[in-house]
Chain A
Amino acid sequence: MSGTLSVSLSHRFPGGRTLDLAFTAPIPGVIGLFGPSGAGKSSLLAALSGLFRPDRSAIELGGRTLSGPGLWLRPERRRIGVVFQDGRLFPHLSVDANLRYGLRRASPGRSGPGFDEVVSLLGLAALLRRPVPGLSGGERQRVAIGRALLSRPDLLAMDEPLSGLDAARKDEILPYLARLRGQAGLPILYVTHSRREAGLLCDTLVLVRDGRIAGSGPVAEMLAGGELGERADAVALLDGVVSAHVPERGLSRVEAGGFALVLPLLADPVGARIRVAVPARDVVVLRADGAPPVSSAQTVLPARVRAVRRAGPSVSVAVLEPAEGGGQAILARMTDDSVARLGLRPGVAVVALVKSVALAGEQADD
């Protein structure tokens, strides 16, 4: 499946709350619906999957119209695999039968991962014979994801699948989701209010606020720019490739769009594609004149100022791109006074000392 997911809907709830949402996002890829609780993210997902019928809607997925003027496909016809916040496993069926429920009903011509493949992807082998009521929250969500995957959907829609779980359970599932993301071809719509999940999993981010779309675009841009970049805990996300391991120093090098980053030794092999996070407050900026200092920061990056943005009273965020150019950028958070002392403005050459680089998903959640 390729092309776009395009959604446009409006609705007025009995209480007077209104939804007026429209966006288009490229597929395949992971589209994150990001925003506070009650913003309308879940309603949008329900409308997409046919479980909620808004007053007016036009939804198209990879050239297939799911709803439009005079057309409303029933949920069982949409081929959208939904992973609900609360799992919604069938309590009267075993894990095995839950997983096969959608598989049995998928049309035989459709391709997709096989039963054994999904079982091993999500680590479900030990659960197959277990009755549903005895499963833990994390196990339930893994089964729910597998069940939706096996229904051979055109799109996997996940409604805050981790929100009901504690931190330890989240960490148990996130790697599976990250692996799922690597599976080529299946578009995912991921509803979340967690910056961490959005940063780790999503390619495109759609910001939802008060029933409206507040912005959308590639995830790195969205998390770095606009309202999200103004926050004290803003992070820049960089997509990179592991370029070398230096085990004797306990380090790995990652090449990320013109930035040569140094991370604590990684398990991923050389050549692996990873996503890293650079917190804006962990970046120290020096003037580029003079010799590069010897410092405790492992990553020293020659860079150029792309923009300086206001991030609050007497605080600014400098957007830095690699000195040799390149599409990706990191953020540095500093006081206005520092901006003035360094004379930062677009085009100025600087050196960025990065105190910490982490794999995306390891940084603190909000």
Chain B
Amino acid sequence: MLAPEQWVAVRLSLYVALLALAGALPVALLLGWVLSRGRWAGRPLLDMLVHLPMVLPPVVTGWLLLLLFGLQGPVGGLLWRGFGARLVFTTAGAALATGVMTLPLMVRTIRLAFDAVDPGLEQAAASLGAGRLDRFLTVTLPLAAPGVLAAASVGYAASLGEFGAVIVFAGDIPGRTQTLPLAIYQALQLPGGEAVAARLALVSLTLALAGLAVSELLLRRLPGRRRAAGNGVAR
């Protein structure tokens, strides 16, 4: 059904999406927590900064990443001179661009999930001897788990479709940074490429739906309380 080089794009897409998710999820958890529970002056500024990739054209986000993480950029230059590591035009760079683009979506969802957790329960945990991290891991995170799972599945699905920021920051290199959307775009540039594009689109859709199915399965495996909470039974 697909040519070998197209399978390469499929595998790469999956890899980039999962890598972006693995990198962005912990950051989103931290930012979601800080934005939900933090009480400090700089919070609105951080909130704005996190949401920037959502309101800017993706191409501009890719360009800003290039300025920041390019070999001449402040962060990219440091990485290059210090560790010989390069992000631009690499698979890791594609994952970075993808992660940054999906971060606002995930932070928003996770923040709402944390907002919905009663701080009184965290106080109860504290009075029972649980420290800050302990409380987060045993009370806040489990109670916010459905929201976190939703954030992860949305983040994953959006990762599969990321285009603008990736092509600007990581380029369109087959086997390295050419993910499915880029491969579809390339196919559409060639005469008679519609059939290939359609097949690739179908694969992309399948991967996204598979991700949603996995998250749905995980959601059902969460402890029984979720059903009760879903039925509106008060705590």
Q: What secondary structure prevails in chain B residues at the interface with A?
A: helix
User: Could you tell me if A84 and B225 are in contact, using CB atoms closer than 8 angstroms?
Assistant: no
B224 at interface by CB-CB < 8 Å: yes
Task: Please count how many residues in chain B sit with their CB below 8 Å of the partner chain's CB atoms.
Answer: 25
How would residues 82 to 120 of chain A score, 1 for a CB under 8 Å from any chain B CB and 0 otherwise? Answer: 101010111111000000011001100000000000000
Shortest Cβ distance from B224 into A: residue: A131
User: Could you tell me if A133 and B233 are in contact, using CB atoms closer than 8 angstroms?
Assistant: yes
User: Could you tell me if B126 and A74 are in contact, using CB atoms closer than 8 angstroms?
Assistant: yes
Shortest Cβ distance from A51 into B: residue: B123
B4 at interface by CB-CB < 8 Å: no
User: Could you tell me if A90 and B139 are in contact, using CB atoms closer than 8 angstroms?
Assistant: yes
User: Could you tell me if B228 and A131 are in contact, using CB atoms closer than 8 angstroms?
Assistant: yes
Q: Bound complex: CA of A84 vs CA of B142, how far in Å?
A: 21
Q: Bound complex: CA of A76 vs CA of B135, how far in Å?
A: 10
Which residues between 116 and 157 of chain B lie within 8 Å of chain A, taking CB atoms? 118, 120-121, 123-131, 134, 138-139, 142-143
Contact A81/B128 with A89-B235, A92-B225, A133-B225 known, Cβ cut-off 8 Å: yes
Contact A84/B124 with A132-B235, A134-B228 known, Cβ cut-off 8 Å: yes
Task: Please count how many residues in chain A sit with their CB below 8 Å of the partner chain's CB atoms.
Answer: 30
A299 at interface by CB-CB < 8 Å: no
Q: How many A-B residue pairs have CB under 8 A?
A: 79
User: Could you tell me if B129 and A88 are in contact, using CB atoms closer than 8 angstroms?
Assistant: no
B44 at interface by CB-CB < 8 Å: no
CB of A322 to closest CB in B, whole Å: 44
B229 at interface by CB-CB < 8 Å: yes
B223 at interface by CB-CB < 8 Å: yes
Q: Bound complex: CA of A136 vs CA of B158, how far in Å?
A: 43
Contact A133/B129 with A88-B120, A90-B139, A92-B225 known, Cβ cut-off 8 Å: no
User: Could you tell me if B228 and A133 are in contact, using CB atoms closer than 8 angstroms?
Assistant: yes
Which residues between 57 and 86 of chain B lie within 8 Å of chain A, taking CB atoms? none
Shortest Cβ distance from A91 into B: residue: B235
Q: Of A78, A106, A133, which one neighbours B229 at CB under 8 angstroms?
A: A133
Q: Bound complex: CA of A88 vs CA of B234, how far in Å?
A: 11
A75 at interface by CB-CB < 8 Å: yes
A147 at interface by CB-CB < 8 Å: yes
List of B residues within 8 angstroms of A151 by Cβ: 127-129
User: Could you tell me if A91 and B225 are in contact, using CB atoms closer than 8 angstroms?
Assistant: yes
Q: Bound complex: CA of A75 vs CA of B129, how far in Å?
A: 7
How would residues 19 to 41 of chain B score, 1 for a CB under 8 Å from any chain A CB and 0 otherwise? Answer: 00000000000000000000000
CB of A51 to closest CB in B, whole Å: 5
CB of A82 to closest CB in B, whole Å: 4
List of A residues within 8 angstroms of B127 by Cβ: 49-51, 75-76, 78, 80-82, 148, 151
Shortest Cβ distance from B135 into A: residue: A76
Contact A75/B235 with A91-B229, A132-B225 known, Cβ cut-off 8 Å: no
CB of B125 to closest CB in A, whole Å: 7
Which residues between 243 and 296 of chain A lie within 8 Å of chain B, taking CB atoms? none
List of A residues within 8 angstroms of B125 by Cβ: 90, 101
Q: Most chain-B CB neighbours within 10 Å: which of A78, A105, A148?
A: A105
User: Could you tell me if B121 and A90 are in contact, using CB atoms closer than 8 angstroms?
Assistant: yes
Q: Bound complex: CA of A49 vs CA of B120, how far in Å?
A: 13
User: Could you tell me if A102 and B128 are in contact, using CB atoms closer than 8 angstroms?
Assistant: yes
User: Could you tell me if B228 and A106 are in contact, using CB atoms closer than 8 angstroms?
Assistant: no
User: Could you tell me if A105 and B123 are in contact, using CB atoms closer than 8 angstroms?
Assistant: no
Q: Bound complex: CA of A192 vs CA of B176, how far in Å?
A: 69
Q: Bound complex: CA of A49 vs CA of B127, how far in Å?
A: 7
Which residues between 51 and 92 of chain A lie within 8 Å of chain B, taking CB atoms? 51, 74-76, 78-82, 84, 86, 88-92
Q: Bound complex: CA of A11 vs CA of B130, how far in Å?
A: 27
List of B residues within 8 angstroms of A89 by Cβ: 235
User: Could you tell me if A92 and B142 are in contact, using CB atoms closer than 8 angstroms?
Assistant: yes
Known: A93-B223, A101-B138. 14 other contacts (CB 8 A): A75-B126, A76-B130, A80-B127, A88-B123, A90-B139, A92-B225, A102-B128, A105-B134, A131-B225, A133-B225, A134-B233, A147-B128, A148-B127, A148-B128
A-B pairs with the 10 shortest C-beta distances? Answer: A102-B128, A105-B129, A133-B228, A88-B124, A75-B126, A82-B127, A91-B235, A133-B233, A151-B128, A92-B225
**Residues of A participating in the B interface, judged by any CB pair closer than 8 Å:** 49-51, 74-76, 78-82, 84, 86, 88-93, 101-102, 105-106, 131-134, 147-148, 151
